[in-house]
Each structure stands twice: as C-alpha cells, then as structure tokens.
Copies of this chain bind each other. A is one copy, B any other.
Amino acid sequence: MTHDLDHTHDAGLRSWVPGADDHPDFPIQNLPLGIVSPDGGVPRAGVAIGRHILDLPALLATNLLSGEAAAAVEAVGETLNPLLALGAGPRRALRRDLSALLREGQAERRTIEPLLHEAAACRLHLPAAIGDYTDFYVGIHHAENIGRQFRPDNPLLPNYKHVPIGYHGRASSIRPSGAPVRRPSGQTKGPDADTIHFGPSQRLDYELELGVWVGPGNALGEPIAIGEAEAHIAGYCLLNDWSARDIQSWEYQPLGPFLSKNFVTTISPWIVTPEALLPFRIPQPPRPQGDPKPLAYLTDEADQRGGAFDLRLDVFLLTPGLREAGLPPHRVAVSNTRSMYWTAAQMLAHHASGGCNLRPGDLLGTGTISGPERDACGSLIEATLGGREPLQLASGEERRFLEDGDEVLLQAHGVREGFASIGFGECRGVIVGASG
C-alpha cells in the first residue's frame, strides 16, 4: 500500500449530519461516491453520508472545495467515469475536503446543509458507464464446492492455483440494487432426460461477489505491472451474479457460461473507495502447504503485505412466506473476503498481462466468495448441495433454488477494533416471473 491511514479514518471523528455517526454503512469515515437523481432530477454525482446524500455539483458551486477536489467534481457529468480516470490524487483530495466539510464543528455547516438530499427520495443509478465487465473465480471454496457438483472427479482444475481464472461477462445487463430480476428462460437438459427443453429456469441462484471498479487503466498492448495495479483500482462494490444453474450446466462447455449469467447482474450503487477500506486491509492469507507460489508477474511485496481485505459478507433471503408472516429475512450465509485466493491487484495485473486494455469504469467481479462452512456459502447451489438439502425457513417454507417473489440482499461491512465500521450499502433484487 502506498497510502497511509490519516485523520479521515479516526474512530472519534463525528459528523454534523443527523444520524450519520450511527449509520451502519455510511458514517463520515466512508464517504462513497455515486450517481443520483434527487426527486427525479437529472443524474449527478453524490456522496453518501448517513441517510443523506450530499449533492456534489451543488457543493462545487459553493466554492468550498479546494483545487484538486474541485477538479475531481468538475470532471463528472452523468457518470463517474471521468473522475475514475483521474486516479488516486484527486479522489483523495475530494475525500479530505468532504471529511473536513461534514465534520462536527464545521463553520460552513449552514451553507452545506441545504445541499443534502434524503437518500430515500433519491434514485440511485449505476455509478459509471461500464465499458467491459469481467468476472473472476477467486473464491477458492466456491470453486471447490461448485467444481465438485459440475465435475465430481475434478473439482479444482490444475490451472486454478496458477491462473487467476476469469472470463468476460455482459456489461449491458448490469443494474443497480433494486432493479427487478426477471427469471430467464433457456435451454435445459436434465441429467437423465433425452429431450432438450426451452422454458423458465428451475434452478435460479444468486452469487455473492465483490466488484472492483477500474480507474485510469492502460493502453492496448501495454500490461500493468503488479506493483502498479493498485493505482488502477478506483473502488469496490457488491455484486450479485445471478445464475441459472440448469441453463449453465447444459450450455457452458466448451466456451464458458453465457445466457445462464447475462440476463441481469446487480451491483450496489456506491463506489466505496480504496481510502475508505484502508483500515480493513490485511496481508494475503498464507497459501496452504504445497500450493505453488504465484509467478513473478503476480507477485508484489506490498500486495502480499496488505493486498487482501477483511470484510464481513452477509446474504439474506426474504421470501413471500416470511414477508407475509412478518418474519425477518433469513440469513443464509456469513462469509468473508479472506477467502479470496487472489487479490484484486492480482486480478487486474493478470487481466492486463497479455496487453488487454482496461478503461475507466470497467468492472471486475471477484467470483463467488464462500467460506469453507455450509453457512458461509455464497450461492444456493452450494448451500443446498445442488438442491438436495433445501434451506428450512421460519415460515415453514423450503428453498432449493429461488422462487418468484424471493428477494436476495447482499451486505458487506468492515469491522475492526479501534475503527469506525463501514458498509457498502444495499445490493438487492426481487425475482419476477419469466416473460410470456
């Protein structure tokens, strides 16, 4: 890490914005960036603070932002891509200014207060126009769990511990939290069925992932060295890689998943910055005895020392039965980003290692992050062993896979003694029935 903790991370820091200090996701130590339409207005940049969103173009007009921070906001239009392209300097300057302006005792409070919108009255958009979306497979427990079901003899393929496996996903169908998730129809073939069938997926699933936003990026043909990779990461989000398992198992050979994954992908709409996540950096967990060392192009001393994250990940399921009975969402899993076999920097350096160009606003998914335990599984196909052992819900319902009306909510939180806890905000979606 080339950047250190500073006063913006102080646990004792308090904000004058009502409710911000007790907010589970967005205290003053977080300050994530997004694109919002307040009360149906034109999309513009905003920063989340408690239950409010500070209007950044309006703040810019007050002249309270300093040079580099002002330049960062000036660059932005209806997407954050131009800000992501600027890299760490302007982003950090903006964080420092915002932290000072929203802090308790700030003399300009009366000027800034009218620029706050109630988050509940805002529409949240995708924060950036996503040029290309790539999904990785770095959750090793997930790779083992799902590999066992698709390839019982060969759960973890020989390349897994050498190559940060990834593949291209669909950018057009990425939607912000809250967008409906229409059940896809597709071709399926039962393991014993001779006839091929086209119809609504019967094995609809979610996948718990982290998203990584690309910053400046590289020119075609010019790889990014592992030591430079962090400088090209502009932030993080939650990502639900909704998956139709029955379509997937029939279509995925030899070129990988396609229609089983591209019907919609949901992300949390706030870009949580690398600065906000600094307190939750940890060394790369040691590789199990006997695992190969990563090749040189994936090895960096700073990345080994602090390139991983300790973030708690939660998956909740709210079914029509739970909703009707007034019961709370069922917590399906608690996982942690410690289970990533490769760091975000390794994913990014690998992606560019053959010369592929990454552009500001490109999105990388980590792949499903499961822990080794049954209650740490980031997808239903793992948690129910392929549907053989359904979840039992307090409503008396069972779930092997998702049914229409089911809602899935992903959460991520950084929690560390001596620091304020922060969260990523919501990543949720409700399943709606297949189209006619």
Q: Would you call A423 an interface residue if the criterion is a C-beta within 8 Å of the partner chain's C-beta atoms?
A: no
Q: How far is the CA of A125 from the CA of B244 in the complex (A)?
A: 38
Which chain A residues in 129-167 approach chain B with CB under 8 Å? 131-132, 134-135, 137, 147, 150-151, 157, 159, 162-163, 165-167
Q: Is A354 touching B254 in the complex (CB atoms < 8 A)?
A: no
Q: List, in ascending order, chain B residues with CB within 8 A of A186's CB.
A: 353-354
Q: Would you call A117 an interface residue if the criterion is a C-beta within 8 Å of the partner chain's C-beta atoms?
A: no
Q: Is B132 touching A172 in the complex (CB atoms < 8 A)?
A: yes
Q: How far is the CB of A263 from chain B (nearest CB, A)?
A: 4
Q: Is B254 touching A168 in the complex (CB atoms < 8 A)?
A: no
Q: Would you call A171 an interface residue if the criterion is a C-beta within 8 Å of the partner chain's C-beta atoms?
A: yes
Q: How far is the CB of A92 from chain B (nearest CB, A)?
A: 27
Q: Is A252 touching B251 in the complex (CB atoms < 8 A)?
A: no
CB contact under 8 A between A295 and B258, given known A163-B250, A184-B355, A251-B165: no
Convert A164-187 into 0s and 1s, putting 1 for each residue whose CB lies closer than 8 angstroms to a CB of B: 011111111101000010101111
Q: Is B292 touching A196 in the complex (CB atoms < 8 A)?
A: yes
Q: List, in ascending order, chain B residues with CB within 8 A of A196's CB.
A: 162, 292, 295
Convert A346-382 into 0s and 1s, putting 1 for each residue whose CB lies closer than 8 angstroms to a CB of B: 0000110111111100100000000000000000000
Q: How far is the CB of A196 from chain B (nearest CB, A)?
A: 5
- Partner of A255 from the list B162, B221, B257, B297 (CB cut-off 8 Å) is B257
Q: Is B295 touching A198 in the complex (CB atoms < 8 A)?
A: yes
Convert A339-350 into 0s and 1s, putting 1 for each residue whose CB lies closer than 8 angstroms to a CB of B: 000000000001
Q: List, in ascending order, chain B residues with CB within 8 A of A435's CB.
A: 221-223, 355
Q: Is A175 touching B353 in the complex (CB atoms < 8 A)?
A: no
Q: Would you call A247 an interface residue if the criterion is a C-beta within 8 Å of the partner chain's C-beta atoms?
A: yes
Q: List, in ascending order, chain B residues with CB within 8 A of A165's CB.
A: 251, 254-255, 258
Chain A contact residue count (CB 8 A cutoff): 66
Q: How far is the CA of A171 from the CA of B172 in the complex (A)?
A: 12
- Partner of A185 from the list B134, B173, B254, B353 (CB cut-off 8 Å) is B353
Q: How far is the CA of A171 from the CA of B168 in the complex (A)?
A: 10
Q: How far is the CB of A131 from chain B (nearest CB, A)?
A: 6
- Scoring A198, A262, A351 by chain B CB atoms within 10 A of each residue's CB, the highest score goes to A262
Q: Would you call A264 an interface residue if the criterion is a C-beta within 8 Å of the partner chain's C-beta atoms?
A: yes
Q: Would you call A256 an interface residue if the criterion is a C-beta within 8 Å of the partner chain's C-beta atoms?
A: yes
Q: Is B255 touching A256 in the complex (CB atoms < 8 A)?
A: yes
CB contact under 8 A between A167 and B168, given known A220-B175, A292-B196: yes
With both beta carbons as reference points, the residue of chain B lying nearest to A220 in the complex is identified as: B173
Q: Would you call A253 an interface residue if the criterion is a C-beta within 8 Å of the partner chain's C-beta atoms?
A: yes
Q: How far is the CA of A254 from the CA of B297 in the complex (A)?
A: 23
Q: How far is the CA of A407 from the CA of B60 in the complex (A)?
A: 52
- Scoring A132, A165, A198, A350 by chain B CB atoms within 10 A of each residue's CB, the highest score goes to A132
CB contact under 8 A between A295 and B187, given known A357-B173, A358-B172: yes
Q: List, in ascending order, chain B residues with CB within 8 A of A135's CB.
A: 255
- Which 9 A-B pairs have CB atoms at the shortest separation, nearest pair first? A256-B256, A184-B354, A168-B168, A182-B221, A167-B255, A259-B354, A255-B256, A262-B356, A263-B355
Known: A150-B254, A162-B189, A167-B255. 15 other contacts (CB 8 A): A134-B258, A166-B258, A167-B256, A167-B258, A168-B262, A170-B356, A172-B356, A172-B358, A172-B359, A185-B354, A198-B296, A252-B254, A255-B256, A259-B351, A263-B356
- A to B CB contacts below 8 Å, 27 in the list: A131-B171, A132-B172, A137-B255, A147-B254, A150-B254, A157-B253, A157-B254, A159-B251, A159-B253, A162-B189, A162-B196, A165-B251, A166-B258, A167-B168, A167-B257, A168-B168, A168-B262, A172-B357, A173-B356, A182-B355, A186-B353, A187-B295, A198-B296, A220-B264, A256-B256, A263-B354, A263-B356
